[in-house]
Structure 1
Amino acid sequence: MAYEDVFWNASISDLKNGYRYDPKLEVFQCIICEEIFQQGVIYPVNGVLYDAQLAIKKHIQEKHQSMFDFLLGMDKKYTGLSELQKEILTFFHAGLSDKEIASKLDAGSTSTIRTHRFKLREKEKQARVFLTIMELLKQEDSRSEDLITIHKGATMVDERYAITNAEKEKVLSTYFNQGLDGPLQSFPSKEKRKIIILQHIITKFDVNKTYSEPEINETLKQIYDDFVTLRRYLIEYGFMERNKDCSQYWLKR
């Protein structure tokens, strides 16, 4: 399962923990970066030995800070939270009183903060109801999960992502007519097809690795002659990020 699928298919419990356990493979997998820890193996971390489950907990703390921070840092299109709401939730999480939060935000009074608490709790109720509705829908609608997974870094989520897995397979077989490990025949102009192609290309890179621009170019050259176009769209569509001087690239997650 691709790491994007691992994240979006995770249970609420897994999202809170930051990892999932695969009983068949007997591995703990980070749902953010797909790092794997094998059950039964002892891992040294900063001079201390940990079993697989404790090791992945340390991994999440050191690499991703916390699931609260990671989830709160996601784009508004996923959290539905304004920047002010995110800031207030951060203060709640830190254990600040309403009076302390009001002072930090220049909100004027604690009643304003209590209003925010109320609205956030109402939002939680709505989310629970909607989640339950969607779970019940999945039981009855055989096509409810037929759409492709949207990558977490997507810069704009709209009808372009209304792509079925059948459409995806057809496009890939058309544009990679020598097989998925072969070259790309041409780069499509239609938005949906671009997304499908880019989603496949990104699987050629390691989510835990930082690449130099020459390394990115070398991999893309093996796929398509116009590697500059591919590189530009990987950034533009939020599949990859790079630093200011373009010397380092990494998968967006």
Structure 2
Amino acid sequence: MGNQEPFWNATIDELSDGYIQSGDEYVCLLCSERFEDGIIYPMDGTLYEAKKAIARHIEEIHTSVLHFFLDLDKKYTGLSDHQNELLHYFSKGLSDKEIVKELNGGSPSTIRNHRFKLKEKEKQAKVFLALMNLLNKKADKKTEDNFVSFHKGAKMVDERYAITEEEKQKVLSTYFKQGTDGKLDTFPSKEKRKLIVLQSIVKRFDRNKKYGEKEINEILKPIYSDFATIRRYLIEYGFMNRSKDCTEYWVKN
């Protein structure tokens, strides 16, 4: 997903639904698919209005919003691998005794203790959200904590690479001297700058289209002479996916 603002700006209820309503459209927060009011969408032999269609889309493409979140990297959920595993079992409605059997170890009291700790984590999260909400109301939007959002699949991103909007614009003006629609002067060596440049380049691709390698190269050639390096980094840094036989490429949602 290229533009992360709808996802990160969504309310808890909207995130739980997996979509937002934007004007006459319902937008999937998990992949940016859009469904427009007034259009009927046929799915598996049934006709759906936009709101029902997006719910059906989430079920078919993403299984459920819960599954989508549980599959996110721990840097987004803040969950340990064990906590994530337990939440998978909780989502299935398993009892503490049943979970012990699935884990092949432990005790029901241990599972109950984990349930308690997760509830405490939920309370802490609510207080933290309230604190950040109050802070954001007072904060000047031009302050240095206005960080750039990268799509959830982006790799190499951690707290070392926190990038402000001001810093992003400086990097882009340095490497794209003719503007971000023009040619890349040089490809940066620093990880942080690579992320900024690659995020800009990937915007030149249609997110709803699959490309052959030749098509990818034709788009990248005018940007940078070593287009093969750009293509490789777009994959390595999680901005694009490709099929196992390397015949199809697409923007990673």
| TM-score w.r.t. length of structure 2 | 0.91
Cα distance in 2 for residues equivalent to 1:125 and 1:36: 33
| 3-state SS in 1 of match to 2:4 | helix
State how 1:206-217 maps to structure 2 within 5 Å: 206-217=206-217
Q: How far 1:246 sits from its partner (Å)?
A: 2.9
One-letter code of the match for 2:111? I
| Deviates most, 81-90 or 207-216 | 207-216
Q: How far 1:235 sits from its partner (Å)?
A: 2.3
Report if the CA contact (8 A) 1:160-1:191 is conserved: no
Aligned to 1:33: 31
One-letter code of the match for 1:82? S
State how 1:105-184 maps to structure 2 within 5 Å: 105-142=103-140, 143=143, 146-184=146-184
Q: Which of the numbers 41, 65, 71 marks the counterpart of 1:73?
A: 71
How far does the alpha carbon of each residue in 1:104-157 deviate from its partner, in whole angstroms, 9 at most, with x for none? 111332112111111111111111111111111101111376211132123233
Report if the CA contact (8 A) 1:137-1:144 is conserved: no
The 3 A distance-change label for structure 1 pair 84 and 243 is: farther
Q: How far 1:241 sits from its partner (Å)?
A: 2.9
State how 1:92-103 maps to structure 2 within 5 Å: 92-103=90-101
How far does the alpha carbon of each residue in 1:202-222 deviate from its partner, in whole angstroms, 9 at most, with x for none? 112233434333332222223
| TM-score w.r.t. length of structure 1 | 0.91
Q: Number of aligned pairs? A: 251
Report if the CA contact (8 A) 1:187-1:194 is conserved: yes
Q: How far 1:41 sits from its partner (Å)?
A: 1.6
State how 1:203-242 maps to structure 2 within 5 Å: 203-242=203-242
The 3 A distance-change label for structure 1 pair 152 and 171 is: same
The 3 A distance-change label for structure 1 pair 213 and 163 is: same
One-letter code of the match for 1:108? G
Report if the CA contact (8 A) 2:3-2:151 is conserved: no
One-letter code of the match for 1:14? E
Q: RMSD in angstroms over aligned alpha carbons?
A: 2.0
Cα distance in 1 for residues equivalent to 2:2 and 2:251: 13
One-letter code of the match for 1:75? D
Cα distance in 2 for residues equivalent to 1:97 and 1:206: 46
Q: Are positions 1:83 and 2:119 aligned together?
A: no
One-letter code of the match for 1:222? P
| Deviates most, 78-87 or 202-211 | 202-211
How far does the alpha carbon of each residue in 1:163-215 deviate from its partner, in whole angstroms, 9 at most, with x for none? 22122223223322223222212212233221111110111223343433333
One-letter code of the match for 2:7? F
| 3-state SS in 2 of match to 1:186 | coil
Cα distance in 2 for residues equivalent to 1:176 and 1:160: 24
Cα distance in 1 for residues equivalent to 2:107 and 2:21: 45
Cα distance in 1 for residues equivalent to 2:84 and 2:145: 30
Report if the CA contact (8 A) 1:241-1:250 is conserved: yes
Report if the CA contact (8 A) 2:2-2:151 is conserved: no
Cα distance in 2 for residues equivalent to 1:45 and 1:123: 39
Cα distance in 2 for residues equivalent to 1:219 and 1:191: 23
* Structure 1: gaps (5+ residues): none
One-letter code of the match for 2:61? K
The 3 A distance-change label for structure 1 pair 115 and 159 is: closer
One-letter code of the match for 1:20? I
Aligned sequence identity (%): 58
Q: Which of the numbers 41, 54, 58 marks the counterpart of 1:60?
A: 58
* Structure 2: gaps (5+ residues): none
Report if the CA contact (8 A) 1:33-1:207 is conserved: no
Q: Which has the higher contact order (CA 8 A, sep 6+)?
A: 2
| Deviates most, 148-157 or 220-229 | 148-157
The 3 A distance-change label for structure 1 pair 209 and 114 is: farther
